[in-house]
Amino acid sequence: MKPVRSNPDRDDITLPRMPSWVTSPRGEALEDVAFMSGAALGHLHLVLVRTDVPQSLLRERLALRATEVSVALSGRPERAADLRDAVQLLRLGDQPGPAGELYQNWRQAVERPVSVKALHRALPSYPATELAAWLDQCDGRRTGQGGPVARAAAVLEAVLSDQPRAEHLGLILADVALAQSLGWDHVVPLLGGGLTPRDLRKTGEPLRVACHHAVVGSAIEATRMAADLARRAARLKAVTPKLRAKGAGQAVELFLTRDAVAPAALVSLNSDRAARRLCDRLVDLGAVRELTGRNTFRLYGV
């Protein structure tokens, strides 16, 4: 996707809203929902090429949303705050636990450009050849299964047929297939955050209809999230010249790419004390938020 450049000096960044006829869809016929999802994806594509949107951060936030769905499907109680703790507060040699592992799967899936090698890195429990086979056997260019959402639905159905209890695997691969079909460089979690347990029990046309609905809902949410992050990123960039700490620039870049940051991760600040002081300063300036509400083991994010 070719980036669309914007004026970096603007602090009133606005993104075009999704048309109301997309946000209030009617009908359940396949051709109707397919039209709506195509319109939603076309609008989202324009958002994903804007340079004023912190794209890596947007993908991480959507990955967190998708992980909450995957964790709920596995019957576990963890939510966003628990998932952040499970991954961001890990020490060397620690294991993240089942929910944290799911979060790592999703984060790594969106981190690198789409490829089987990157996908295997995100899902090391599955051989690269097996991952490629699931994607290849449902390649719409060869099977005639239609557009991007139809291909993603076919991949999801194939994975769940082979691995009925691996919902997160099916959802990640479905979003990979969607990104590949749309020509996107990175996975953007849409189906992973939009499908319900009931949807995942469907097959054939009912599953395709559910996937189209999920894409519309997730594209609307992603557009709203992108607009919010663009404004927050602009604020953070605007206050960066006020930061006197050595290494503050590298720290700011980390905030613009990660959903949550622990002060210990700000290695450019040279000390934990300097990192904590910078985080508190950014909170005072209204540029980042403290995400935990705790006095210790705090996490910060745009």
Question: How does the average pLDDT of the chain come out, rounded?
Answer: 91
Residue 232 tokens read as 């927050």
Cα separation, 302 vs 235, whole angstroms: 9
Residues 197 and 221 sit within 8 Å (Cβ to Cβ): no
Distances (CA, A) of 154 to 11, 57, 144, 161, 173: 43, 29, 11, 10, 10
**Region of poorest pLDDT, from 17-26, 187-196, 257-266, 282-291:** 17-26
Q: Render pLDDT for 118-160 as a digit per residue (tens, 0 to 9).
A: 999 999 999 999 999 999 876 654 444 579 999 999 999 999 9
As a whole number of angstroms, the distance between CA 111 and CA 59 comes to: 8
Which tokens go with 31? 């051709």
Instruction: Say if CB 109 and CB 168 are below 8 A apart.
Output: no
The residue written with tokens 């990104």 in the block is: 179
Please name every residue paired with 66 in a beta bridge, in sequence order, or none if there are none: none
Instruction: Note the pLDDT of residue 210.
Output: 96
The domain 28-230 having CATH identifier 2.40.50: the answer here is no
Q: How far is residue 8 from each of residues 1, 136, 227, 233, measured CA to CA in Å?
A: 20, 41, 15, 10
Give the number of other CB atoms < 10 A from CB of residue 297: 12
Given a cut of 60, whether residue 41 has pLDDT beyond it is: yes
What is the C-alpha to C-alpha distance for residues 144 and 162, in angstroms, rounded to an integer? Answer: 21
Token pair for residue 285? Answer: 């300036």
CA distance 114 to 187: 6
Position 292: which residue type? T
In CATH terms, the fold of domain 243-301 is Arc Repressor Mutant, subunit A (1.10.10)
91: confidence class by pLDDT, cuts 50, 70, 90 = confident
Q: H helices within 14-78, ranges in order?
A: 20-23, 30-47, 55-73
Domains 28-230 and 243-301 in one fold? no
Locate the domains of the chain by residue range.
28-230, 243-301
